Each structure stands twice: as C-alpha cells, then as structure tokens.
Amino acid sequence: MKGSLTTRRSSAGAGRRRRPDDLGGLAPETLRALYVTMRRIRRAEETIVALYPEQEIRCPTHLSIGQEAAAAGVCQALRPTDTAVSTHRCHAHYLAKGGDLRGMFAELYGKATGCCGGKGGSMHLTAPEVGMLGASAIVGGSVPLAVGSALAASLRGIDEVAVAFFGDAAMEQGVTHESLAFAALRRLPVLFVCENNLYATNSPLTARQVAKDIAPRGAAHGVPGVIVDGNDVVGVYKGALAAVERARRGKGPTLIEIKTYRWREHVGPNYDVGPGGRTQAELDAWMAQDPLAALARRLERRRVLPAGHRETLERAVEEELEDAVAFAKASPFPDPAALYADVD
C-alpha cells in the first residue's frame, strides 16, 4: 500500500520527456483516434472563436485550446458506459466522451435542439447517453458527483469507472478532499483528473498553493497520485489506462495530475497576455509544445498517419463542424413553456 501511494511520474513526465517518435506501443487505430478527438476539440473551439463576434453564441465560453490532450487521453481509456463529470470548461470533456457536436453547438446557440434543450448553456454540457453526466460551474462542485456515480456502480455491482475532471483550483476546495477521502475509504472505481493549467481565472498557482505538484496530495487520503505531461497525449492515455485498469480491479481511485496550459483567456475567445496578466514568453513556451502538432509530427514520422491520410480525417472534422454550426443556427429557440419544464 505504502509503495502504491508514491506519486509516479509517467514516462512522459517532466524531466523524462518522451522521445520525439515514441508512440508508447499503442495500436495505430488508438493513435489515430486520439488525433481525431484532439483535432475535433481544437477545431470546435477555434470555430467558437471565429463565430463569437457574430454575437449569436450568447453565453460565456471557457475554451480548452492547449488542453485537448487531457480530455482526449483520459476518455480514450474509457468505455461509453463509464461516466464523467466536468467543470465550466467542459467542451473538451463532452466531445472526448462522445457527446454530439450538433448538440453542443445548438446548446451554445441556446437552441431547443441543444444537448440540454437550451437550458444548460456552455458550462453544463450533458450527454448521459455516452456517460457524460454534466458539469458544475462551481469550482470543485462536480467532483463528488463522480464519486457518487462510482458508489452507485459499486453498490449495484456494475463494472463502471467514473471520472471527475477538475482544475488546479479545485484542490483548494474542501469538497474535493472530502471526495478523495471517501473514494479511498470505499475503494471506489473513480479517477480524479486534475488539469493543472497553472491559473484560476487570473490568479497564478503560486499565489494560491505552496506545493508545486498536486498529485502527491492524494496520498494523505489514501489515493495514489500520478503526474503526466499534458502536451503528450500518449502519456496521458497510458496514465489514465493504468488508473482505469486499477479501478476495474477493485483497487480504488487514482489522482492524475495533468500538467497543461490554457492558451486563451479564462473565459472568452481572446488571449490574455499583457501587463498584469500572463507573459508572452510563457504562452510562447507552451504553444511551442502544442500537443496536437506534436502528435501529428510523431504520427507522420512513424507512418501511422501520413499527411494525406491526416488531411482526409481533418476534412471530415471540418465537414462535421460546418454541419453542426448550420444545424445550430437553423434550429428553433426553446418554446417559452420550456422555462417551466423539468423542475419541481
């Protein structure tokens, strides 16, 4: 037990960076799936950026550009019957878990055909048909929901794993620690996935927490921690897969810290570098490690995904996006009576 609680760094962790062409022994179809998921998230987010000035997406949007490997890598290790909950920054998790792109864009447009019928908006994307149970916009608020999902699976004897996606600031919330402790106590099949992107809105991690790493804090509750490089989707996937397999064997929860970075501002389509904010040098350094471009290069070099094949897959993503946006724009707004439905 003692040994298993030592925080591990995956082979891709800081200091032991994956060799440029290391594909971790993954099957070509797994690697291609990871690429398509990340590309789909990246392009969906960039499409929001492009459309935002039209003032038709009238809700706050928290973009995951730069953090795609976290959602893609973790969800690739899950089955559709496994569950996930997320945060205000939930587009990537919704899409990686298998959420419908039309439903997402229609929700952003506030339409009746949205994945929440137009009642959730950008911060509460939900797709229970693929295990996406939704998201809370209160930091740390959704973490216990994943534990509850795992508790239900455990008590009902169902082979299911639950994932709580959250950010570094959620580690500052008591409910997160309560959730870690309870999951360990009952050895529940749950992954605590912390995307440490170094900022809570504009507050840097160093202004909020003493310890540099988050993963070791699980050990105090009996939850082993793993640190993975968020710019290396192969490392994220392998770290998540090990935690998922551990959970399925009845060994309990794992806390996975993914070192990552959001390229854009906390909320909205723009960048936020400048006086009083993040530095251009810091942003440039992270963008130089673009997880999507890094995977594309690796897959091309290893001939898993030659340029021509990649472009075909990318065209399919673009077509799906065009269709989703057209669908959202053409869809009707909710009937006024919907205001009073689904409550009490």
Partner 1 sequence: MKPARELRYREAIDEATRQAMAKDERIVVLGVGVDDAKGIFGTTRGAFEQFGSARVFDTPLSEAALTGICVGAAMRGLHPVLVHARNDFLLLTMDQIVNNAAKWRYMSGGKLHVPFTIRAIIGRGWGQAAQHSQSLQAMFAHVPGLQVIMPATPGDAKGLLMTAYSTDSPVLCLEHRWLYETSGPVPEEPYYLPIGTAAVVREGSDVTIVAVSHMVVEALQAAEILAAAGIEAEIVDPRSLRPLDSDLICRSVAKTGRLVIADTGWRSYGVSGEIASRVGEELFGRLKAPIRRIALPDVPTPGSQKLEQVYYPGSSQLAAAVRQVVEGQGSSETDGRSRPRGATEFEGPF
Per CB under 8 A, 178 contacts partner 1: yes
- Minimum distance from CB of 248 to partner 1 (Å)? 16
How far apart, in Å, are the Cα atoms of 54 and each of 33, 64, 281, 325?
32, 21, 31, 13
Sole binder of partner 1 in the list 17, 22, 49, 148 (CB under 8 A) = 148
| Burial of residue 17, with CB atoms counted within 10 A of its CB: 0-12 exposed, 13-18 middle, 19 or more buried | middle
**Which CB sits closer to partner 1, 185 or 330?**
185
**Which CB sits closer to partner 1, 54 or 342?**
342
Distance CA 320, CA 112 (A): 20
Per CB under 8 A, 136 contacts partner 1: yes
Sole binder of partner 1 in the list 147, 161, 163, 227 (CB under 8 A) = 147
Sole binder of partner 1 in the list 31, 70, 146, 233 (CB under 8 A) = 146
**Which CB sits closer to partner 1, 10 or 154?**
154
- Minimum distance from CB of 211 to partner 1 (Å)? 22
- Minimum distance from CB of 172 to partner 1 (Å)? 14
**Which CB sits closer to partner 1, 160 or 265?**
160
- Minimum distance from CB of 21 to partner 1 (Å)? 41
| Three-state DSSP class for residue 320 | helix
Per CB under 8 A, 29 contacts partner 1: no
Per CB under 8 A, 61 contacts partner 1: no
Per CB under 8 A, 179 contacts partner 1: yes
Tokens of 186: 């009952």
Q: Given the structure tokens 């909950």, which residue do they identify?
A: 85
Per CB under 8 A, 73 contacts partner 1: no
**Which CB sits closer to partner 1, 133 or 228?**
133
Distance CA 273, CA 262 (A): 12
Distance CA 152, CA 157 (A): 8
CB 75 within 8 A of CB 81: no
How far apart, in Å, are the Cα atoms of 295 and each of 35, 68, 144, 325?
7, 12, 33, 27
Per CB under 8 A, 118 contacts partner 1: yes
**Which CB sits closer to partner 1, 293 or 338?**
338
**Which CB sits closer to partner 1, 162 or 200?**
162
Tokens of 299: 């897959």
Per CB under 8 A, 187 contacts partner 1: no
**Which CB sits closer to partner 1, 41 or 146?**
146
Tokens of 199: 């900022």
Sole binder of partner 1 in the list 66, 73, 110, 144 (CB under 8 A) = 144
Q: Given the structure tokens 């530095």, which residue do they identify?
A: 279
Distance CA 54, CA 147 (A): 40
CB 251 within 8 A of CB 189: no
Phi-psi domain of 126 (left: phi exceeds 0; alpha: psi -120 through 50; beta: other): beta
**Which CB sits closer to partner 1, 27 or 138?**
138
Size of the site for partner 1 (CB under 8 A): 45
Sole binder of partner 1 in the list 74, 153, 215, 240 (CB under 8 A) = 153
Give the CA-trace dihedral at 190, 195, 200, 204, to 10 degrees: 130
| Three-state DSSP class for residue 193 | strand
Of the candidates 223, 191, 196, the residue with the CA atom closest to the CA atom of residue 83? 191
Per CB under 8 A, 291 contacts partner 1: no
- Minimum distance from CB of 60 to partner 1 (Å)? 15
Give the footprint of partner 1 on this chain (CB under 8 A): 83, 85, 114-120, 124, 126, 128, 133-134, 136, 138, 141-153, 155-156, 158, 160, 162, 174-175, 178-179, 181-182, 185, 341-344
